[in-house]
Structure 1
Amino acid sequence: MKTIPGYDGGPLDDGGALLGAAAFWPAHLGPHLMDPMEDVADLFGVPFEDVEATYRRLTDHAAWPVFTFDTGRDARLAVVYRNLDEDEGVDYLLVPDGAEAITVATDEGGAFGRGLTWDEVAALAARQPEPIIGARLLLLLAPMIVHFEAPDSDVVARLAEALRTAGVPGPAQPIAERILHPDDYSDDDEPAAFVRGDTLADRILAPVRSASSR
Protein backbone atom coordinates (compact mmCIF):
# COMPACT_ATOMS: atom_id res chain seq x y z
CA MET A 1 0.00 0.00 0.00
CA LYS A 2 1.37 3.42 -0.92
CA THR A 3 1.91 6.02 1.74
CA ILE A 4 -0.45 8.97 2.03
CA PRO A 5 1.42 12.28 1.62
CA GLY A 6 1.60 14.16 4.90
CA TYR A 7 -0.16 11.42 6.84
CA ASP A 8 2.03 9.96 9.55
CA GLY A 9 0.27 6.64 9.57
CA GLY A 10 1.29 3.12 10.36
CA PRO A 11 1.27 -0.07 8.27
CA LEU A 12 -1.35 0.98 5.71
CA ASP A 13 -3.09 -1.89 3.95
CA ASP A 14 -5.55 -1.76 1.04
CA GLY A 15 -8.93 -2.74 2.49
CA GLY A 16 -10.83 -2.75 -0.79
CA ALA A 17 -11.41 -6.51 -0.75
CA LEU A 18 -13.33 -6.18 2.53
CA LEU A 19 -16.05 -4.04 0.94
CA GLY A 20 -17.55 -7.04 -0.82
CA ALA A 21 -18.26 -8.88 2.44
CA ALA A 22 -21.71 -8.46 3.99
CA ALA A 23 -20.10 -8.52 7.46
CA PHE A 24 -18.09 -5.39 6.66
CA TRP A 25 -21.06 -3.05 6.91
CA PRO A 26 -22.26 -3.95 10.41
CA ALA A 27 -18.61 -3.97 11.53
CA HIS A 28 -18.01 -0.47 10.13
CA LEU A 29 -21.38 1.06 11.01
CA GLY A 30 -21.89 -0.71 14.33
CA PRO A 31 -20.02 1.84 16.47
CA HIS A 32 -22.10 4.61 14.86
CA LEU A 33 -25.32 2.81 15.86
CA MET A 34 -24.08 2.45 19.44
CA ASP A 35 -25.74 -0.95 19.94
CA PRO A 36 -24.12 -4.20 21.11
CA MET A 37 -22.43 -5.96 18.21
CA GLU A 38 -24.78 -8.93 18.56
CA ASP A 39 -27.78 -6.63 18.01
CA VAL A 40 -26.13 -4.92 15.05
CA ALA A 41 -25.33 -8.30 13.44
CA ASP A 42 -28.96 -9.35 13.89
CA LEU A 43 -30.24 -6.09 12.37
CA PHE A 44 -28.00 -6.49 9.31
CA GLY A 45 -28.86 -10.17 8.91
CA VAL A 46 -25.24 -11.29 9.21
CA PRO A 47 -23.83 -13.97 11.55
CA PHE A 48 -22.35 -12.43 14.67
CA GLU A 49 -19.17 -14.50 14.31
CA ASP A 50 -18.56 -12.99 10.85
CA VAL A 51 -19.10 -9.45 12.09
CA GLU A 52 -16.80 -10.02 15.06
CA ALA A 53 -14.05 -11.44 12.83
CA THR A 54 -14.36 -8.55 10.38
CA TYR A 55 -14.22 -5.98 13.18
CA ARG A 56 -11.04 -7.62 14.50
CA ARG A 57 -9.57 -7.33 11.00
CA LEU A 58 -10.53 -3.66 10.76
CA THR A 59 -8.98 -2.83 14.12
CA ASP A 60 -5.85 -5.00 13.88
CA HIS A 61 -2.79 -2.99 14.96
CA ALA A 62 -0.60 -4.94 12.51
CA ALA A 63 -2.33 -3.59 9.38
CA TRP A 64 -4.43 -0.44 9.04
CA PRO A 65 -7.16 -0.91 6.39
CA VAL A 66 -7.43 1.98 3.92
CA PHE A 67 -10.32 2.58 1.52
CA THR A 68 -9.70 5.02 -1.33
CA PHE A 69 -12.01 6.68 -3.85
CA ASP A 70 -11.61 9.25 -6.60
CA THR A 71 -13.39 12.53 -5.89
CA GLY A 72 -13.49 13.63 -9.53
CA ARG A 73 -11.75 16.83 -8.47
CA ASP A 74 -7.99 16.10 -8.71
CA ALA A 75 -8.02 14.47 -5.30
CA ARG A 76 -8.59 11.13 -3.62
CA LEU A 77 -10.65 10.36 -0.57
CA ALA A 78 -9.10 7.96 1.94
CA VAL A 79 -10.79 6.35 4.93
CA VAL A 80 -8.11 4.98 7.26
CA TYR A 81 -8.56 2.76 10.30
CA ARG A 82 -5.85 4.32 12.48
CA ASN A 83 -5.10 1.33 14.69
CA LEU A 84 -2.47 2.98 16.82
CA ASP A 85 -2.11 1.50 20.27
CA GLU A 86 -4.03 3.68 22.75
CA ASP A 87 -4.95 6.13 19.96
CA GLU A 88 -7.41 4.24 17.80
CA GLY A 89 -9.77 6.00 15.43
CA VAL A 90 -10.99 6.24 11.87
CA ASP A 91 -9.61 9.13 9.83
CA TYR A 92 -11.43 10.59 6.83
CA LEU A 93 -8.87 12.25 4.57
CA LEU A 94 -8.77 14.22 1.35
CA VAL A 95 -5.55 13.75 -0.60
CA PRO A 96 -5.25 16.44 -3.29
CA ASP A 97 -2.94 15.61 -6.20
CA GLY A 98 0.56 16.77 -5.35
CA ALA A 99 -0.37 17.93 -1.84
CA GLU A 100 -0.48 16.56 1.68
CA ALA A 101 -3.55 14.90 3.14
CA ILE A 102 -6.27 17.01 4.74
CA THR A 103 -8.14 15.51 7.69
CA VAL A 104 -11.83 16.22 7.08
CA ALA A 105 -13.18 14.23 10.03
CA THR A 106 -12.10 11.74 12.66
CA ASP A 107 -14.18 9.14 14.44
CA GLU A 108 -12.94 8.47 17.97
CA GLY A 109 -16.19 7.40 19.57
CA GLY A 110 -17.80 10.48 18.02
CA ALA A 111 -17.29 12.80 15.08
CA PHE A 112 -14.53 15.38 15.35
CA GLY A 113 -13.34 17.94 12.84
CA ARG A 114 -15.09 19.66 9.97
CA GLY A 115 -17.26 16.68 9.12
CA LEU A 116 -19.31 16.23 5.97
CA THR A 117 -22.75 17.29 4.80
CA TRP A 118 -25.33 15.05 3.16
CA ASP A 119 -25.11 17.07 -0.06
CA GLU A 120 -21.34 16.62 -0.17
CA VAL A 121 -21.48 12.88 0.42
CA ALA A 122 -24.32 12.38 -2.07
CA ALA A 123 -22.35 14.35 -4.66
CA LEU A 124 -19.19 12.30 -4.05
CA ALA A 125 -21.20 9.09 -4.44
CA ALA A 126 -22.76 10.34 -7.68
CA ARG A 127 -19.29 11.02 -9.15
CA GLN A 128 -18.24 7.37 -8.84
CA PRO A 129 -17.99 5.35 -12.07
CA GLU A 130 -20.32 2.53 -10.97
CA PRO A 131 -23.41 2.42 -8.72
CA ILE A 132 -21.86 -0.13 -6.35
CA ILE A 133 -18.81 2.10 -5.80
CA GLY A 134 -21.07 5.05 -5.07
CA ALA A 135 -23.13 2.95 -2.66
CA ARG A 136 -20.04 1.82 -0.78
CA LEU A 137 -18.74 5.37 -0.54
CA LEU A 138 -22.07 6.65 0.77
CA LEU A 139 -22.18 4.02 3.51
CA LEU A 140 -18.51 4.42 4.44
CA LEU A 141 -18.93 8.17 4.95
CA ALA A 142 -22.34 8.02 6.66
CA PRO A 143 -20.98 8.14 10.25
CA MET A 144 -19.25 11.47 9.58
CA ILE A 145 -22.24 13.34 8.13
CA VAL A 146 -22.87 16.24 10.50
CA HIS A 147 -25.60 18.08 8.60
CA PHE A 148 -28.52 16.90 6.47
CA GLU A 149 -30.03 19.32 3.97
CA ALA A 150 -32.58 16.83 2.60
CA PRO A 151 -35.84 15.56 4.14
CA ASP A 152 -35.46 12.42 6.27
CA SER A 153 -37.54 10.40 3.80
CA ASP A 154 -35.16 11.22 0.94
CA VAL A 155 -32.08 10.36 3.00
CA VAL A 156 -33.55 7.07 4.20
CA ALA A 157 -34.53 6.10 0.64
CA ARG A 158 -31.02 6.85 -0.65
CA LEU A 159 -29.34 4.98 2.21
CA ALA A 160 -31.67 2.02 1.75
CA GLU A 161 -30.84 1.89 -1.95
CA ALA A 162 -27.13 1.96 -1.09
CA LEU A 163 -27.56 -0.87 1.42
CA ARG A 164 -29.29 -3.04 -1.18
CA THR A 165 -26.68 -2.23 -3.83
CA ALA A 166 -23.86 -3.05 -1.40
CA GLY A 167 -25.43 -6.48 -0.74
CA VAL A 168 -26.56 -6.03 2.87
CA PRO A 169 -28.96 -8.93 3.53
CA GLY A 170 -30.97 -7.28 6.32
CA PRO A 171 -34.06 -5.05 5.87
CA ALA A 172 -32.77 -1.94 4.13
CA GLN A 173 -35.25 0.69 5.33
CA PRO A 174 -35.01 -0.02 9.10
CA ILE A 175 -31.23 -0.11 8.84
CA ALA A 176 -31.23 3.17 6.91
CA GLU A 177 -33.44 4.79 9.55
CA ARG A 178 -31.03 3.70 12.28
CA ILE A 179 -28.04 5.06 10.34
CA LEU A 180 -29.78 8.42 10.00
CA HIS A 181 -30.91 8.50 13.64
CA PRO A 182 -28.51 6.34 15.65
CA ASP A 183 -30.06 7.49 18.90
CA ASP A 184 -33.14 9.34 20.05
CA TYR A 185 -32.91 13.08 20.23
CA SER A 186 -35.23 16.06 20.42
CA ASP A 187 -35.52 18.80 17.83
CA ASP A 188 -33.54 21.04 20.20
CA ASP A 189 -30.54 18.79 19.64
CA GLU A 190 -30.42 19.39 15.87
CA PRO A 191 -27.04 20.80 14.80
CA ALA A 192 -26.76 24.40 13.71
CA ALA A 193 -26.64 25.16 10.00
CA PHE A 194 -23.40 24.00 8.43
CA VAL A 195 -21.30 26.89 7.11
CA ARG A 196 -18.99 25.95 4.27
CA GLY A 197 -15.81 28.01 4.04
CA ASP A 198 -13.41 28.49 1.16
CA THR A 199 -10.67 26.02 1.97
CA LEU A 200 -9.24 23.50 -0.48
CA ALA A 201 -11.35 20.79 1.18
CA ASP A 202 -14.51 22.89 0.81
CA ARG A 203 -13.84 23.45 -2.89
CA ILE A 204 -13.16 19.75 -3.55
CA LEU A 205 -16.24 18.60 -1.66
CA ALA A 206 -18.69 21.24 -2.87
CA PRO A 207 -21.53 19.78 -4.97
CA VAL A 208 -21.98 21.14 -8.46
CA ARG A 209 -24.81 23.67 -8.43
CA SER A 210 -27.33 23.61 -11.22
CA ALA A 211 -28.11 26.78 -13.13
CA SER A 212 -31.55 26.97 -11.48
CA SER A 213 -30.05 26.97 -7.97
CA ARG A 214 -27.61 29.80 -8.53
Structure 2
Amino acid sequence: MGDMRPAFACDDGAVIIPGYLDAFEPPLPRSTLVDATDQLHTALFWPAFLSGVGGARTAPSGFGADPTEVAALDAEWLRPDRWPVISLPVAGGRLHVVQRNLEDESGVDYVLEDGSPPALDVAAVEGNFRGPGLSWAEAAQTAAQAVGVEAARRLLLLLPAVGDVAASTRAAHALVTAAVKAVGCSAALAPRVAEELLTSSARFWGAHRWDEVEGIPVNLGPHSTRHPARQSLSELRRIAAAFAPLTP
Protein backbone atom coordinates (compact mmCIF):
# COMPACT_ATOMS: atom_id res chain seq x y z
CA MET A 1 0.00 0.00 0.00
CA GLY A 2 2.97 2.31 -0.36
CA ASP A 3 1.83 3.72 -3.71
CA MET A 4 -0.62 6.59 -3.25
CA ARG A 5 -1.52 6.81 -6.93
CA PRO A 6 -5.12 5.56 -7.06
CA ALA A 7 -7.07 3.72 -9.72
CA PHE A 8 -10.26 5.73 -9.37
CA ALA A 9 -10.00 8.21 -12.25
CA CYS A 10 -11.77 7.69 -15.55
CA ASP A 11 -10.07 7.92 -18.93
CA ASP A 12 -11.06 11.58 -19.16
CA GLY A 13 -9.36 12.36 -15.85
CA ALA A 14 -12.64 12.76 -13.96
CA VAL A 15 -12.89 11.29 -10.48
CA ILE A 16 -15.98 9.38 -9.39
CA ILE A 17 -16.94 9.65 -5.70
CA PRO A 18 -20.32 7.93 -5.26
CA GLY A 19 -22.94 10.43 -4.14
CA TYR A 20 -20.55 13.31 -3.47
CA LEU A 21 -21.63 15.65 -6.26
CA ASP A 22 -25.32 14.84 -5.70
CA ALA A 23 -25.48 17.23 -2.76
CA PHE A 24 -24.76 20.33 -4.83
CA GLU A 25 -27.31 22.53 -6.58
CA PRO A 26 -27.34 23.25 -9.43
CA PRO A 27 -26.00 19.86 -10.51
CA LEU A 28 -22.30 19.72 -11.30
CA PRO A 29 -20.85 17.78 -14.23
CA ARG A 30 -18.76 14.68 -13.57
CA SER A 31 -15.76 16.46 -15.06
CA THR A 32 -15.69 18.83 -12.05
CA LEU A 33 -13.62 16.38 -9.97
CA VAL A 34 -10.12 15.87 -11.38
CA ASP A 35 -7.35 13.59 -10.19
CA ALA A 36 -4.54 15.67 -8.68
CA THR A 37 -2.75 12.92 -6.74
CA ASP A 38 0.44 13.33 -8.76
CA GLN A 39 0.76 16.85 -7.30
CA LEU A 40 2.07 15.21 -4.12
CA HIS A 41 5.34 14.64 -5.95
CA THR A 42 5.87 18.30 -6.96
CA ALA A 43 7.97 20.86 -5.11
CA LEU A 44 5.27 23.51 -4.67
CA PHE A 45 2.44 21.32 -3.41
CA TRP A 46 3.58 20.98 0.18
CA PRO A 47 4.29 24.63 1.01
CA ALA A 48 0.93 25.51 -0.56
CA PHE A 49 -1.06 22.75 1.17
CA LEU A 50 0.57 23.04 4.57
CA SER A 51 0.09 26.80 4.67
CA GLY A 52 -3.30 27.10 2.97
CA VAL A 53 -5.05 24.02 4.38
CA GLY A 54 -2.82 23.07 7.29
CA GLY A 55 -2.53 26.60 8.67
CA ALA A 56 1.28 26.59 8.90
CA ARG A 57 2.27 30.13 7.95
CA THR A 58 5.96 29.26 8.14
CA ALA A 59 5.67 26.48 5.54
CA PRO A 60 6.56 28.53 2.42
CA SER A 61 9.72 29.80 4.11
CA GLY A 62 10.55 26.33 5.35
CA PHE A 63 10.47 25.01 1.81
CA GLY A 64 12.23 28.02 0.30
CA ALA A 65 9.21 28.51 -1.93
CA ASP A 66 8.71 31.55 -4.13
CA PRO A 67 5.53 33.27 -2.82
CA THR A 68 4.52 34.20 -6.37
CA GLU A 69 4.70 30.57 -7.49
CA VAL A 70 2.76 29.40 -4.43
CA ALA A 71 0.07 31.99 -5.19
CA ALA A 72 -0.09 30.81 -8.81
CA LEU A 73 -0.58 27.21 -7.68
CA ASP A 74 -3.27 28.31 -5.24
CA ALA A 75 -5.10 30.09 -8.05
CA GLU A 76 -5.00 26.97 -10.21
CA TRP A 77 -6.32 24.82 -7.36
CA LEU A 78 -9.18 27.22 -6.72
CA ARG A 79 -10.64 27.15 -10.23
CA PRO A 80 -14.42 26.75 -9.88
CA ASP A 81 -14.65 24.45 -12.91
CA ARG A 82 -11.99 21.98 -11.72
CA TRP A 83 -11.93 20.63 -8.17
CA PRO A 84 -8.63 18.82 -7.52
CA VAL A 85 -8.90 15.49 -5.71
CA ILE A 86 -6.11 13.68 -3.90
CA SER A 87 -6.78 10.10 -2.89
CA LEU A 88 -4.99 7.75 -0.56
CA PRO A 89 -5.70 4.13 0.31
CA VAL A 90 -6.79 3.45 3.88
CA ALA A 91 -7.50 0.22 5.72
CA GLY A 92 -11.16 0.24 4.75
CA GLY A 93 -11.15 1.75 1.26
CA ARG A 94 -9.99 5.10 -0.05
CA LEU A 95 -10.03 8.60 1.40
CA HIS A 96 -10.53 11.49 -1.01
CA VAL A 97 -9.27 14.97 -0.13
CA VAL A 98 -11.35 17.30 -2.31
CA GLN A 99 -10.66 20.96 -2.93
CA ARG A 100 -14.30 22.13 -3.01
CA ASN A 101 -14.32 25.27 -5.14
CA LEU A 102 -17.98 26.14 -4.77
CA GLU A 103 -18.71 29.85 -4.99
CA ASP A 104 -19.15 31.36 -1.51
CA GLU A 105 -18.59 27.93 0.09
CA SER A 106 -15.09 26.80 -0.71
CA GLY A 107 -13.15 24.42 1.49
CA VAL A 108 -11.49 21.03 1.64
CA ASP A 109 -13.62 17.93 2.14
CA TYR A 110 -12.38 14.60 3.48
CA VAL A 111 -14.64 11.94 1.99
CA LEU A 112 -14.46 8.18 2.56
CA GLU A 113 -15.23 5.72 -0.23
CA ASP A 114 -15.38 2.20 1.21
CA GLY A 115 -17.35 0.26 -1.38
CA SER A 116 -20.75 0.89 0.24
CA PRO A 117 -22.27 3.94 -1.47
CA PRO A 118 -22.77 6.72 -0.88
CA ALA A 119 -19.38 8.00 0.24
CA LEU A 120 -19.23 9.29 3.81
CA ASP A 121 -18.25 12.75 5.06
CA VAL A 122 -15.30 12.56 7.44
CA ALA A 123 -14.40 16.24 7.83
CA ALA A 124 -14.43 19.60 6.09
CA VAL A 125 -12.01 22.43 6.72
CA GLU A 126 -12.85 26.03 5.84
CA GLY A 127 -16.28 27.07 4.69
CA ASN A 128 -18.98 25.22 6.65
CA PHE A 129 -16.45 23.34 8.74
CA ARG A 130 -17.23 19.87 10.09
CA GLY A 131 -14.91 17.97 12.36
CA PRO A 132 -12.70 16.78 13.77
CA GLY A 133 -12.81 13.72 11.58
CA LEU A 134 -9.85 11.75 12.89
CA SER A 135 -8.16 11.03 16.17
CA TRP A 136 -4.40 11.35 16.37
CA ALA A 137 -4.03 7.56 16.72
CA GLU A 138 -6.06 6.98 13.54
CA ALA A 139 -3.96 9.43 11.54
CA ALA A 140 -0.69 8.00 12.83
CA GLN A 141 -1.62 4.38 12.24
CA THR A 142 -2.94 5.14 8.75
CA ALA A 143 0.33 6.86 7.90
CA ALA A 144 2.24 3.87 9.27
CA GLN A 145 0.65 1.62 6.64
CA ALA A 146 3.21 3.10 4.24
CA VAL A 147 6.94 3.67 4.69
CA GLY A 148 9.40 6.52 4.21
CA VAL A 149 8.22 9.59 2.35
CA GLU A 150 4.86 7.95 1.50
CA ALA A 151 4.11 7.61 5.21
CA ALA A 152 5.03 11.28 5.69
CA ARG A 153 2.73 12.36 2.87
CA ARG A 154 -0.19 10.44 4.35
CA LEU A 155 0.28 11.93 7.79
CA LEU A 156 0.48 15.48 6.48
CA LEU A 157 -2.59 15.05 4.27
CA LEU A 158 -4.62 13.73 7.21
CA LEU A 159 -3.45 16.23 9.80
CA PRO A 160 -5.88 19.08 8.98
CA ALA A 161 -8.77 16.69 9.76
CA VAL A 162 -7.34 15.72 13.16
CA GLY A 163 -8.60 17.16 16.42
CA ASP A 164 -7.33 15.38 19.51
CA VAL A 165 -5.61 16.36 22.75
CA ALA A 166 -3.33 13.36 22.14
CA ALA A 167 -1.70 15.31 19.31
CA SER A 168 -0.15 17.71 21.81
CA THR A 169 2.54 15.27 22.98
CA ARG A 170 6.25 15.49 22.29
CA ALA A 171 6.03 12.20 20.40
CA ALA A 172 3.38 13.63 18.06
CA HIS A 173 5.46 16.76 17.47
CA ALA A 174 8.54 14.65 16.71
CA LEU A 175 6.60 12.51 14.22
CA VAL A 176 5.16 15.52 12.40
CA THR A 177 8.54 17.26 12.37
CA ALA A 178 10.09 14.20 10.73
CA ALA A 179 7.26 14.07 8.20
CA VAL A 180 7.66 17.74 7.26
CA LYS A 181 11.40 17.25 6.77
CA ALA A 182 10.75 14.13 4.66
CA VAL A 183 8.73 16.14 2.11
CA GLY A 184 11.36 18.86 1.79
CA CYS A 185 11.14 21.33 4.66
CA SER A 186 14.41 22.65 6.07
CA ALA A 187 15.61 21.10 9.32
CA ALA A 188 15.82 24.55 10.90
CA LEU A 189 12.15 25.42 10.36
CA ALA A 190 10.57 21.94 10.44
CA PRO A 191 9.84 22.00 14.22
CA ARG A 192 8.06 25.34 13.90
CA VAL A 193 6.02 24.17 10.90
CA ALA A 194 5.10 21.01 12.80
CA GLU A 195 3.93 23.04 15.80
CA GLU A 196 1.77 25.25 13.60
CA LEU A 197 0.22 22.22 11.92
CA LEU A 198 -0.57 20.54 15.23
CA THR A 199 -2.25 23.60 16.71
CA SER A 200 -4.06 24.98 13.67
CA SER A 201 -7.16 22.79 13.96
CA ALA A 202 -8.19 24.98 16.90
CA ARG A 203 -9.31 27.46 14.23
CA PHE A 204 -12.20 25.12 13.51
CA TRP A 205 -13.05 22.73 16.34
CA GLY A 206 -10.30 22.76 18.95
CA ALA A 207 -8.59 19.73 20.45
CA HIS A 208 -11.14 17.24 21.75
CA ARG A 209 -10.94 13.97 23.58
CA TRP A 210 -12.31 10.92 21.83
CA ASP A 211 -14.84 8.54 23.36
CA GLU A 212 -16.41 5.21 22.42
CA VAL A 213 -19.98 4.11 21.81
CA GLU A 214 -20.46 0.35 21.52
CA GLY A 215 -16.74 0.03 20.89
CA ILE A 216 -16.77 2.60 18.07
CA PRO A 217 -14.55 5.71 18.30
CA VAL A 218 -16.70 8.85 18.39
CA ASN A 219 -16.13 12.54 18.91
CA LEU A 220 -18.78 14.49 20.81
CA GLY A 221 -17.63 17.93 19.69
CA PRO A 222 -20.33 20.33 18.48
CA HIS A 223 -19.18 20.20 14.85
CA SER A 224 -17.96 16.61 14.58
CA THR A 225 -19.30 14.36 11.84
CA ARG A 226 -18.31 11.37 13.94
CA HIS A 227 -21.02 12.08 16.47
CA PRO A 228 -23.84 9.57 17.14
CA ALA A 229 -26.36 12.37 16.63
CA ARG A 230 -25.06 13.10 13.11
CA GLN A 231 -24.23 9.68 11.70
CA SER A 232 -25.70 6.26 12.33
CA LEU A 233 -23.75 3.65 14.24
CA SER A 234 -23.37 1.76 10.98
CA GLU A 235 -21.79 4.79 9.30
CA LEU A 236 -19.58 5.48 12.30
CA ARG A 237 -18.44 1.86 12.27
CA ARG A 238 -17.55 2.13 8.57
CA ILE A 239 -15.40 5.18 9.20
CA ALA A 240 -13.69 3.57 12.18
CA ALA A 241 -12.91 0.48 10.10
CA ALA A 242 -11.32 2.64 7.42
CA PHE A 243 -8.76 4.03 9.84
CA ALA A 244 -8.20 0.94 11.96
CA PRO A 245 -4.79 -0.75 12.04
CA LEU A 246 -4.27 -3.35 9.33
CA THR A 247 -4.43 -6.88 10.70
CA PRO A 248 -1.45 -9.14 9.91
User: Which residue is equivalent to 2:152?
Assistant: 135
Letter in 2 for 1:3: I
Q: Cα deviation per residue 1:39-91 (whole Å; 9 max; x = unaligned)?
A: 65224421111211121122111211101111132x10110001112221100
Task: Write out aligned runs for 1:156-167 (5 A).
Answer: 156-167=173-184
- Displacement of 1:166 in angstroms is 1.5
The one-letter amino acid paired with 1:51 is V
Show the counterpart of 1:168: 185
Structure in which a larger fraction of residues adopt strand: 1
Cα–Cα, structure 1 residues 148 and 27, in superposed 2: closer, same or farther, change >3 Å? same
Deviation at 1:161, TM superposition (A): 1.2
Question: Which stretch of structure 1 is more off in the superposition, 91-100 or 26-35?
Answer: 26-35
Q: Work out whether 1:49 is the aligned partner of 2:87.
A: no
Task: Note the C-alpha offset of 1:169.
Answer: 4.1
CA spacing shift, 1:85–1:15, aligned 2, 3 Å: same
Name stretches of at least 5 consecutive residues in structure 2 with no aligned partner: 1-13, 23-27, 212-216, 219-232
Aligned pair 1:107/2:129, yes or no? no
What is the TM-score normalised by the length of structure 2?
0.71
Unaligned runs of 5+ in 1: 210-214
Map 1:1-214 onto structure 2 (within 5 A): 1-8=14-21, 10=28, 11-31=32-52, 32-33=54-55, 35=57, 40-73=59-92, 75-108=93-126, 111-128=129-146, 130-149=147-166, 152-169=169-186, 171-182=189-200, 191-195=207-211, 196-197=217-218, 198=233, 199=236, 200-207=238-245
- The CA deviation at 1:145 is 0.8
User: Measured at CA, do residues 205 and 192 of structure 1 come closer, stay the same or move farther in structure 2, by a change above 3 Å?
Assistant: same
Once the two structures are TM-superposed, the CA of residue 133 in structure 1 deviates from its matched residue by 2.0
Contact 1:94 1:101 in 2 (8 A): yes
Shift of 1:190: 6.4
Letter in 1 for 2:16: T
Distance change in 2, residues 1:192/1:16 (3 Å):
closer
CA RMSD of the aligned region, Å? Answer: 2.8
C-alpha change, 1:183 and 1:204, in structure 2 (3 Å) is closer
Provide the rounded CA distance (Å) in 2 between the counterparts of 1:43 and 1:164: 9
Separation (CA, whole Å) in 2 of partners of 1:207 and 1:163: 23
Query: What number of residue pairs does the alignment pair up?
Result: 202
SS at match of 1:203: helix
Shift of 1:109: 5.1
CA contact (8 A) 1:119 1:148 kept: no
Structure 2 Cα separation of the partners of residues 191 and 163 of structure 1 = 21
Distance 1:110 1:98, change over 3 A: closer
The residue identity in structure 2 corresponding to 1:26 is P
- After superposition, the Cα gap between the structure-2 partners of 1:118 and 1:183, relative to the gap in structure 1 and judged at 3 Å, is closer
